Amino acid sequence: MAARREIRADYDRDTIVVYQAYPAAIAEPAIAAQRFVAPFSLTRMTWIKPSFCWLMHRSNWGQKAGQERTLGVRIYRAAWERALALGVLTSPEPAVFRDADEWDRQFRDAAVHVQWDPERDLRGASLNHDSIQVGLGRTVIAEFAATWIASIEDLTPRVAKMREQLRSGHADQARRLLPRERVYPVAPELARRLMIDRA
Protein backbone atom coordinates (compact mmCIF):
# COMPACT_ATOMS: atom_id res chain seq x y z
CA MET A 1 0.00 0.00 0.00
CA ALA A 2 1.37 3.42 -0.98
CA ALA A 3 2.24 5.87 1.74
CA ARG A 4 -0.29 8.60 2.41
CA ARG A 5 0.64 12.06 1.20
CA GLU A 6 -0.36 14.73 3.68
CA ILE A 7 0.87 18.15 4.64
CA ARG A 8 1.50 18.03 8.37
CA ALA A 9 2.59 21.25 10.00
CA ASP A 10 2.63 23.53 13.00
CA TYR A 11 0.13 26.23 11.99
CA ASP A 12 -2.42 28.66 13.34
CA ARG A 13 -5.13 30.80 11.76
CA ASP A 14 -2.71 33.05 9.87
CA THR A 15 0.70 31.38 9.74
CA ILE A 16 2.53 28.09 9.21
CA VAL A 17 6.02 27.08 10.32
CA VAL A 18 8.52 25.75 7.79
CA TYR A 19 12.02 24.57 8.63
CA GLN A 20 15.36 25.29 7.05
CA ALA A 21 18.99 24.56 7.95
CA TYR A 22 21.83 26.94 7.18
CA PRO A 23 25.38 27.79 8.15
CA ALA A 24 25.79 30.51 10.75
CA ALA A 25 26.80 33.04 8.08
CA ILE A 26 23.24 32.93 6.67
CA ALA A 27 21.30 32.09 9.82
CA GLU A 28 22.59 34.81 12.12
CA PRO A 29 21.77 37.80 9.85
CA ALA A 30 18.35 36.27 9.16
CA ILE A 31 17.58 35.88 12.87
CA ALA A 32 18.71 39.44 13.57
CA ALA A 33 16.69 40.95 10.69
CA GLN A 34 13.72 38.56 11.05
CA ARG A 35 13.87 38.05 7.28
CA PHE A 36 16.44 36.69 4.87
CA VAL A 37 19.17 39.14 3.96
CA ALA A 38 22.64 38.87 2.40
CA PRO A 39 24.46 36.53 2.08
CA PHE A 40 21.20 34.60 1.53
CA SER A 41 20.97 33.94 -2.22
CA LEU A 42 18.03 35.29 -4.20
CA THR A 43 19.09 33.40 -7.33
CA ARG A 44 19.28 29.84 -6.00
CA MET A 45 16.22 27.68 -5.28
CA THR A 46 15.52 27.35 -1.58
CA TRP A 47 13.51 24.46 -0.11
CA ILE A 48 11.04 24.93 2.74
CA LYS A 49 9.74 21.98 4.72
CA PRO A 50 6.89 21.90 7.26
CA SER A 51 8.14 18.65 8.81
CA PHE A 52 10.61 19.10 11.67
CA CYS A 53 11.63 15.44 11.77
CA TRP A 54 12.24 15.33 8.03
CA LEU A 55 14.66 18.25 8.31
CA MET A 56 16.35 16.58 11.27
CA HIS A 57 16.86 13.48 9.12
CA ARG A 58 18.18 15.61 6.25
CA SER A 59 20.55 17.71 8.40
CA ASN A 60 21.56 14.86 10.73
CA TRP A 61 20.28 16.88 13.66
CA GLY A 62 22.29 19.93 12.66
CA GLN A 63 25.56 18.06 12.22
CA LYS A 64 25.91 18.24 8.43
CA ALA A 65 28.30 20.84 7.08
CA GLY A 66 26.44 23.98 6.11
CA GLN A 67 23.30 22.89 8.00
CA GLU A 68 24.41 23.55 11.56
CA ARG A 69 21.74 26.14 12.38
CA THR A 70 18.07 25.14 12.37
CA LEU A 71 15.51 27.86 11.73
CA GLY A 72 11.77 27.75 12.29
CA VAL A 73 10.48 30.20 9.69
CA ARG A 74 6.89 31.24 10.37
CA ILE A 75 5.32 32.40 7.10
CA TYR A 76 1.85 33.64 6.29
CA ARG A 77 -0.60 30.96 5.22
CA ALA A 78 -1.61 33.07 2.23
CA ALA A 79 2.01 32.96 1.05
CA TRP A 80 2.27 29.20 1.69
CA GLU A 81 -0.89 28.58 -0.29
CA ARG A 82 0.42 30.82 -3.09
CA ALA A 83 3.55 28.66 -3.23
CA LEU A 84 1.47 25.49 -3.39
CA ALA A 85 -0.73 26.97 -6.13
CA LEU A 86 2.39 27.70 -8.21
CA GLY A 87 3.86 24.28 -7.54
CA VAL A 88 4.58 21.55 -10.07
CA LEU A 89 5.48 18.02 -8.99
CA THR A 90 9.06 16.91 -9.54
CA SER A 91 7.92 13.69 -11.26
CA PRO A 92 5.52 13.11 -14.21
CA GLU A 93 2.66 11.50 -12.28
CA PRO A 94 0.10 9.95 -14.69
CA ALA A 95 -2.77 10.95 -12.40
CA VAL A 96 -1.87 14.62 -12.86
CA PHE A 97 -0.26 15.03 -16.29
CA ARG A 98 -1.48 13.84 -19.70
CA ASP A 99 2.00 12.67 -20.63
CA ALA A 100 5.68 13.24 -19.89
CA ASP A 101 5.85 16.10 -22.39
CA GLU A 102 3.13 18.04 -20.57
CA TRP A 103 4.92 17.52 -17.28
CA ASP A 104 8.25 18.57 -18.81
CA ARG A 105 6.79 21.83 -20.12
CA GLN A 106 5.15 22.68 -16.82
CA PHE A 107 8.16 21.68 -14.75
CA ARG A 108 10.60 23.74 -16.82
CA ASP A 109 8.46 26.87 -16.40
CA ALA A 110 7.47 26.30 -12.76
CA ALA A 111 8.21 28.96 -10.17
CA VAL A 112 7.84 26.34 -7.43
CA HIS A 113 8.75 22.64 -7.33
CA VAL A 114 6.95 20.17 -5.07
CA GLN A 115 8.51 16.89 -4.00
CA TRP A 116 7.29 14.08 -1.75
CA ASP A 117 9.67 12.07 0.42
CA PRO A 118 9.09 9.51 3.17
CA GLU A 119 8.32 11.15 6.50
CA ARG A 120 10.69 10.26 9.34
CA ASP A 121 10.41 9.60 13.03
CA LEU A 122 12.81 10.81 15.73
CA ARG A 123 15.29 8.07 14.88
CA GLY A 124 15.13 8.69 11.13
CA ALA A 125 13.03 5.62 10.29
CA SER A 126 10.49 5.95 7.47
CA LEU A 127 6.83 6.36 8.44
CA ASN A 128 3.69 5.40 6.51
CA HIS A 129 3.09 8.88 5.11
CA ASP A 130 5.10 11.16 2.89
CA SER A 131 6.28 14.66 3.69
CA ILE A 132 6.13 17.62 1.35
CA GLN A 133 9.16 19.67 0.35
CA VAL A 134 8.54 22.93 -1.50
CA GLY A 135 11.29 24.45 -3.65
CA LEU A 136 11.01 28.19 -4.26
CA GLY A 137 12.57 29.32 -7.52
CA ARG A 138 14.16 32.65 -8.35
CA THR A 139 10.91 34.26 -9.51
CA VAL A 140 9.40 34.01 -6.01
CA ILE A 141 12.41 33.76 -3.72
CA ALA A 142 12.83 37.52 -3.27
CA GLU A 143 9.16 37.75 -2.33
CA PHE A 144 9.64 34.93 0.20
CA ALA A 145 12.69 36.61 1.73
CA ALA A 146 11.12 40.07 1.98
CA THR A 147 7.38 39.71 2.60
CA TRP A 148 6.28 36.14 3.37
CA ILE A 149 7.91 35.86 6.78
CA ALA A 150 6.15 36.65 10.06
CA SER A 151 9.09 35.58 12.26
CA ILE A 152 12.26 33.50 12.34
CA GLU A 153 13.13 31.44 15.42
CA ASP A 154 16.55 29.95 16.06
CA LEU A 155 15.82 26.32 16.97
CA THR A 156 19.49 25.32 17.14
CA PRO A 157 19.62 25.06 20.97
CA ARG A 158 16.47 22.90 21.00
CA VAL A 159 17.92 20.67 18.28
CA ALA A 160 21.17 20.25 20.24
CA LYS A 161 19.23 19.36 23.39
CA MET A 162 17.07 16.81 21.56
CA ARG A 163 20.13 15.32 19.84
CA GLU A 164 21.80 14.79 23.20
CA GLN A 165 18.63 13.28 24.69
CA LEU A 166 18.44 10.80 21.82
CA ARG A 167 22.12 9.91 22.21
CA SER A 168 21.66 9.25 25.92
CA GLY A 169 18.61 7.05 25.40
CA HIS A 170 15.97 9.56 26.49
CA ALA A 171 13.79 9.55 23.38
CA ASP A 172 10.67 10.29 25.44
CA GLN A 173 12.18 13.56 26.64
CA ALA A 174 13.18 14.49 23.08
CA ARG A 175 9.68 13.67 21.83
CA ARG A 176 8.18 16.18 24.27
CA LEU A 177 10.13 18.93 22.51
CA LEU A 178 8.75 18.15 19.07
CA PRO A 179 6.62 20.86 17.45
CA ARG A 180 2.91 20.10 17.32
CA GLU A 181 2.23 19.12 13.72
CA ARG A 182 -1.21 18.26 12.36
CA VAL A 183 -2.76 17.74 8.96
CA TYR A 184 -3.01 20.99 7.02
CA PRO A 185 -6.25 21.47 5.01
CA VAL A 186 -6.06 21.99 1.25
CA ALA A 187 -8.69 22.65 -1.43
CA PRO A 188 -9.74 19.66 -3.58
CA GLU A 189 -8.23 20.94 -6.85
CA LEU A 190 -4.91 21.70 -5.19
CA ALA A 191 -4.93 18.28 -3.56
CA ARG A 192 -5.46 16.66 -6.96
CA ARG A 193 -2.66 18.61 -8.65
CA LEU A 194 -0.15 17.92 -5.89
CA MET A 195 -1.35 14.37 -5.16
CA ILE A 196 -2.32 15.16 -1.59
CA ASP A 197 -4.54 12.52 -0.02
CA ARG A 198 -7.73 13.87 1.48
CA ALA A 199 -9.45 12.33 4.50
In this prediction, residue 46 carries a pLDDT of: 97
Enumerate the H helices of 2-137 as residue ranges.
24-33, 52-59, 77-86, 100-109
Q: Cβ atoms within 10 A of the Cβ of 119, count?
A: 23
Counting Cα atoms < 13 Å in the Cβ hemisphere of 198 gives: 10
Task: Tell whether the model's pLDDT for residue 198 goes beyond 80.
Answer: no
Domain residue ranges of the chain, discontinuous segments joined by +: 4-187
Q: What is residue 82's three-state secondary structure?
A: helix
> For the purposes of burial, counting CB atoms within 10 Å of the CB of 149, is it exposed (0-12), middle (13-18) or buried (19 or more)?
buried
Which pLDDT tens digit goes with each residue over 107-118? 999 999 999 999
Which pLDDT tens digit goes with each residue over 59-79? 999 999 999 999 999 999 999
Which pLDDT tens digit goes with each residue over 133-182? 999 999 999 999 999 999 999 999 999 999 999 999 999 999 999 999 99
Task: Tell whether the model's pLDDT for residue 51 goes beyond 70.
Answer: yes
Find all residues with CB under 8 Å of 93, minimum gap 6, and list them.
103, 195
Find all residues with CB under 8 Å of 23, minimum gap 6, and list them.
66, 67, 68, 69
Q: Cβ atoms within 10 A of the Cβ of 176, count?
A: 10
